[in-house]
């Protein structure tokens, strides 16, 4: 049986306010785009280190985190975007790099829980960067920085 429901749409000022709010949220640099196609894929065969472990965040830092002390306002943080079930997506963001062209690097790592061994396995990884000499300091790209 098919049930049809009519929903009354909000008036025009409410629609515009909602659209404007969504636009502002989209411009916020804290919003993380985790879409696969916005990251340049990295071949797992080229990743140096152990790709299997107990904690995806720890694996992320072991594989791509900066271990040496970096002068200035360098910061590095991880965030789990998708948690639950047998998959986790971790974003590692590194900002204020001591590079005259690359301001920041962001990695997106997708892990899958392998029940046969009881550990997390890295399935795919991608990379973006933010450029020092960019028109927008919060713009992330896969294009080379000038």
Tokens of residue 35, six digits: 């879409």
Q: Tell me: the pLDDT tens digits for 115-128?
A: 999 999 999 999 99
C-alpha torsion sign, points 130, 132, 66, 93: negative
Q: What is the pLDDT of residue 27?
A: 36
Per-residue pLDDT tens for 20-36? Answer: 333 333 333 344 555 65
Radius of gyration of the chain (CA): 19
- pLDDT tens digits for 84-110? 789 999 999 999 998 889 999 999 999
Q: How far is CA 63 from CA 34, 102, 122, in A?
A: 19, 20, 10
Neighbours of 137 (CB within 10 A): 11
Instruction: Check residue 27 and give left, alpha or beta (phi > 0: left; psi -120 to 50: alpha).
Output: alpha
Whether pLDDT at 18 is above 70:
no
Prediction pTM value: 0.73
DSSP letter (8 states) at residue 61? H
């Amino acid at each position: 049986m098919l049930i049809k429901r009519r929903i009354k749409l909000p008036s025009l000022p409410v629609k515009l306010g909602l659209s404007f709010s969504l636009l502002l949220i989209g411009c916020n640099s804290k919003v993380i785009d985790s879409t696969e196609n916005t990251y340049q894929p990295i071949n797992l065969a080229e990743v140096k280190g152990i790709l299997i472990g107990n904690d995806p965040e720890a694996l992320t830092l072991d594989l791509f985190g900066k271990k040496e002390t970096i002068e200035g306002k360098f910061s590095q943080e991880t965030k789990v975007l998708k948690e639950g079930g047998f998959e986790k997506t971790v974003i590692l963001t590194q900002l204020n790099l001591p590079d005259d062209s690359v301001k920041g690097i962001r990695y997106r790592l997708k892990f899958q829980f392998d029940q046969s061994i009881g550990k997390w396995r890295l399935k795919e990884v991608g990379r973006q960067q933010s450029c020092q000499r960019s028109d927008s300091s919060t713009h992330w790209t896969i294009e080379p920085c000038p």
